[in-house]
Structure 1
């Protein structure tokens, strides 16, 4: 993983990308994973852990209606988390996740291991957001680590989409 992380950080550096994370089910693990690499301070701006619905609303500005309509585990909520984190930080890339790491799904019918992600980029004054939903297998902490790794591994893919649109 380390070699892969180093190449991600090099990519972020080369493109002058500063990250903010808005993490729910990973609870800071994405920022922590990035921090394993010395020198990550040049690319990691800050990290928000917003576990509860209340925190998502009051800290990141997620709309209560979005949560009511789509559920906490939804791409719509992940997108508002990523965009909210961008708004309140000096970063130009916002990463967000919200999902069910387990052990149970509470009273929802969403399967355990389901995680919704969003990647939000500020580019030339515009914000472009991408999102996807994935299902990971394993126990609670395996799901959390797989989610953090996945979120980091997709940054360059979506950043390239932004660059393509703007070229």
Structure 2
């Protein structure tokens, strides 16, 4: 079983519902779950908020936050995750924003991807464990988007385990240094 299917089955076995808020991956994270037979009930919703306006209007990301941290930032991905969780019945939210190729006006290097995961444990719906990471992937535009979407899904079991082991209070993961994925 490939890692994406493993994650889909992980979500399914635990009765978890996933919501995604995607920018750079443009729906690939959700699409990977939908590709796994029998996992349709796991995917609650997917929002592709590619433009800054969509991030603001659909997900409630504030203009001030974007101005302060930039579009490719953990802060923006976290706000996107909060936004999609607020409009869904999901107990796992994954968000991603980044740069897949040259051309970022702020000089962010190609392949930079910022992620956020929110996990609500059963019986603690008001409390979401929060995790963020920034990674840098190599390759062309398609390679970067594919790698980022796979990474977003593959980290769910890891962060779910952290959330369940620290269920006393929410925590935030340390920011990982930008690293290159193995292609």
Does the alignment reach a TM-score above 0.5?
yes
TM-score band, normalised by the shorter chain?
Answer: over 0.9
What is the rounded CA distance, in whole Å, between the counterparts of 2:105 and 2:60 in structure 1? 25
What is the rounded CA distance, in whole Å, between the counterparts of 1:5 and 1:34 in structure 2? 7
What is the rounded CA distance, in whole Å, between the counterparts of 1:161 and 1:105 in structure 2? 36
Alignment match, 1:20: 19
TM-align CA RMSD: 1.2
Q: CA deviation at 1:75?
A: 0.1
Q: CA deviation at 1:5?
A: 2.4
User: Over residues 94-147 of structure 1, what are the superposed CA-to-partner deviations in whole Å (9 max), with x where a residue is unaligned?
Assistant: 100000001x13322210100000001123020121000000000001000000
What is the rounded CA distance, in whole Å, between the counterparts of 1:6 and 1:29 in structure 2? 14
What is the rounded CA distance, in whole Å, between the counterparts of 1:134 and 1:66 in structure 2? 20
What is the rounded CA distance, in whole Å, between the counterparts of 1:5 and 1:138 in structure 2? 20
Q: CA deviation at 1:63?
A: 1.2
Alignment match, 2:116: 118
Alignment match, 1:75: 74
Q: Structure 1: where are the runs of 5+ without partners? A: none
Structure with the largest fraction of helix: 1
What is the rounded CA distance, in whole Å, between the counterparts of 2:110 and 2:2 in structure 1? 30
Q: CA deviation at 1:3?
A: 2.8
Q: Structure 2: where are the runs of 5+ without partners? A: 169-183
Q: Does 1:129 align with 2:130?
A: yes
Q: CA deviation at 1:9?
A: 1.7
Query: Counterparts of 1:27-66 in structure 2 under 5 Å?
Result: 27-66=26-65
Q: Would you say the 8 A contact 2:96–2:113 is kept in 1?
A: yes
Alignment match, 2:172: none
- SS of the residue corresponding to residue 105 of structure 2 reads coil
Q: CA deviation at 1:8?
A: 1.2
State TM-score, norm by structure 2: 0.87
Q: CA deviation at 1:4?
A: 2.2
